[in-house]
Amino acid sequence: MPTPFPRGRSAMVTVRVLLFPVVGGLTMMGCAAHVSRSQSTMSPLPPTSDAGRELTADQQVLQVINRLTFGARPGEAAQVRAMGVDRWIGRQLNPESIDDRDANAFVARFPTYAASIGQLQSDYPPPAKVLLARRAAAGANNGPVTGEDSMATRVARRAANRVVLDLQTIRVARAEISQRQLQEVMTDFWLNHFTVYDRKGAQMRYYLPDFDRDVIRPHALGKFRDLLEAVAKSPAMLFYLDNWESAADSTEPTMAPRPGQRTFARAPQGDGALTPPRRRRELGLNENYGRELLELHTLGVDGGYTQQDVINVARALTGWSIARPQEGSGFRFRPQFHDAGPKVVLGHALPAGRGIEDGEDVLDIVARHPSTARYIARKLCQRFAGDAPPQELVDRAAATFTRTDGDIRQVVWTIVTSPEFYARSAYRSKVKSPFEVVVSALRAVDAAPDTTPRTAQIIARMGEPIFGHQAPNGYPETGESWMNTGAILNRINFGLAVAAQRIPGASLDRWPDTRALMTAPRAAQVDGVVASILGGDASPDTRAILLSGEDPLLAAAGPTGDEATDAAAAGTRGTSRPSPDTTSGTRSASRPASIDGAMAGSAMSADGMEADDMVGTNGGQAAGRGGFGRLPSLQGLAQVVGLALGAPEFQRR
């Protein structure tokens, strides 16, 4: 017989860990906005050992920078080497100790990011609402749309688009300039793990800043249970997976009256009697979030749950909804929609007659399930240690997850201080995603952050639109999903575009090595670029390309202008959840490759949003048909830098 799951946090196991004096003694430098309780009261990290690390000291520095940041900025390797890799990691795992004033100042330039959901809905209303208000004020609800109406709608659409475009701009800039690089990496990881789609509907744009700012970012290095609840109660996830409108079926009782619904009413004796059911129009249970909570967010597809568990999780989460705009549009539990009948989830009984506690108990159950520990540990090992991480490392990371009650910071520490992380087989074994390629290139040349959406749109064109993955499984983590001939050509052309100063903020005038290398012989330029941008390690083939200035792939592809860029971009767009026979790499983004043509022929998309609403998430529209345009014929140092940014060594981390 299933036993009730204990409520509250009293059942949490208190774990004693050894003090890591270097980390524990770090001083606070600067303030951190939106820090969760679980992340700001961190337990000390245990000590480490160099035993079993196969990489040299310099290779360890590069491994740490490549995996725990978005790429090295000039001089960063020397800083990590001077501090020591373990001490540097410990400091990054305590982000509140790091002064991040430059990133904070950049973010402060965008008022849409700090605004509440309700404020955004008021300040940037949906175009349809603006049109209805105009027509109602003019007394022309049934009349034709005038030219003035169309102009007002277009202005409103551009203003509403600004909410998403600003957030995309901030995401790129923070990854580029933040001193809290590991927090940025983990924020990126969790935003992909708990992916939401910006074109789910017109309302989604208003929920995204809150999702980044208040849901994911402050919990990125905290307790997994806290992160899971923040996601479960976020309007973005509730809207994306339709839980906001999920209601108890007609045969089940609810906690408050609703037409045609039987209601759970406690009798004076407290025996939990139910009122008789009445006929009503069935609203229906939506299983979307319940299924993805188990399959993608916690236990994993092989985590041991059944279809009945999915149904009962969905029942437990009925009533978890979104407040009306006039109420602030935040989380709202609606008892009249909550299924108050008894349930059994993964062997744990949830008694009848309860409300929001059902969902909270479900989060407790799945957050502490052994399958969740293994699933999250494997995903983190795959992100940091390699596409096929050793099972021994996954097991140790899962044990840390269980022992610390899901302390993300401790799990990451277990992984990135392990011998497996510093194994030769792990070194430069990860292929960068388009987001990582673009940001790491900008960091390598010390580019200024882009205050416009253009860089984010370049990332979209290369196959990874920010908040643009339609399916809930997120962008792929493994390298084969990103690499094909078209994608490689696009990456080479992007590197040349950076050196040609075609990317906002990127100029070799800002690169510290330019002055010393500009007039040096070609061989010295190659040595300097290899040392600075490629970490001092380049294959003979790469050195030959840098010395000659000729890349065989570019020569075989022909023109590097509009046609080549369009062809390359077409090779990186595709379906969001590839079938087994397409995982070799040509289908990694979130829409069919034909979406550009479909949008060109229609002003309205399948989800009812006008084409202009989608600027910034569609690769083809965002960057324009010309891609990077016709690149100039680069010579000298600019050519060496551009080819180095497109080299295989730079495409891996």
Same domain, 444 and 523: yes
Q: What is the pLDDT of residues 587-638, one digit of tens each?
A: 233 322 222 222 222 223 323 334 343 333 333 333 333 367 778 899 999 9
pLDDT for 143 equals 75
* Dihedral pair phi/psi, residue 445, rounded to 5°: -100, 10
CA distances from 2 to 172, 342, 344, 347, 349 (A): 48, 12, 7, 5, 6
pLDDT at 370 over 50: yes
Same domain, 115 and 194: yes
**Do 605 and 200 touch, CB atoms closer than 8 A?**
no
End-to-end Cα spacing for the chain: 50
Name the domain boundary from 367, 393, 411: 367
Same domain, 404 and 476: no
Q: Where are the alpha helices (DSSP H) in 317-467?
A: 356-367, 370-384, 391-403, 408-416, 434-444, 454-461
233 found inside a domain = no
258 found inside a domain = yes
Q: Tell me which residue has tokens 């437990």.
A: 316
Q: What is the pLDDT of residues 412-426, one digit of tens each?
A: 999 999 999 999 999
Phi-psi region of 53 (alpha: psi -120 to 50; beta: other; left: phi over 0): beta
Q: Tell me which residue has tokens 């840390």.
A: 400
Select the more confidently predicted residue: 638 or 259. Answer: 638
Q: How confident is the model at residue 497 (pLDDT cuts 50, 70, 90)?
A: very high
448 vs 105: CA distance, rounded Å: 13
Q: What is the DSSP letter of 377?
A: H
Same domain, 281 and 409: no
Which residue in 419, 403, 423 sits closest to 411, CA to CA? 403
290 found inside a domain = yes
272 found inside a domain = yes
Flag the least confident range among 216-220, 327-331, 513-517, 576-580: 576-580
Same domain, 575 and 642: yes
**Do 345 and 298 touch, CB atoms closer than 8 A?**
no
Flag the least confident range among 148-152, 284-288, 361-365, 517-521: 148-152
Same domain, 629 and 554: yes
- Count how many domains the chain has: 4
Same domain, 628 and 495: yes
Per-residue H/E/C for 479-499: HHHCCCHHHHHHHHHHHHHHH
76 found inside a domain = no
Give the residue numbers spanning the domain of 312: 243-367
pTM for the whole thing?
0.83
230 found inside a domain = no
Long-range contacts of 629-633 (CB under 8 A, 24+ apart): 629/502, 629/561, 629/562, 630/560, 630/561, 630/562, 631/493, 631/496, 631/497, 631/500, 631/502, 631/560, 631/561, 632/500
Q: What is the pLDDT of residues 29-72, one digit of tens each?
A: 333 444 444 554 567 898 888 889 999 999 999 999 999 999 99
Name the domain boundary from 402, 426, 450: 426
Same domain, 422 and 440: no
Same domain, 192 and 136: yes
Same domain, 311 and 456: no
- Sign for the pseudo-dihedral over CA of 50, 383, 229, 400: negative
Name the domain boundary from 324, 340, 367: 367
As to burial, measured by CB atoms within 10 angstroms (0-12 exposed, 13-18 middle, 19+ buried), residue 473 is middle
The partner residues of 39 in beta bridges, in order of sequence, read none
Is 202 in a helix, a strand, or coil? coil
620 vs 573: CA distance, rounded Å: 10
Same domain, 631 and 488: yes
41 found inside a domain = no
Residues 6+ apart with CB under 8 A from 137: none
Same domain, 522 and 640: yes
Q: Where are the alpha helices (DSSP H) in 194-306?
A: 204-210, 224-232, 235-240, 288-292
28 found inside a domain = no
Looking at residues 343-355, what average pLDDT do you find? 97
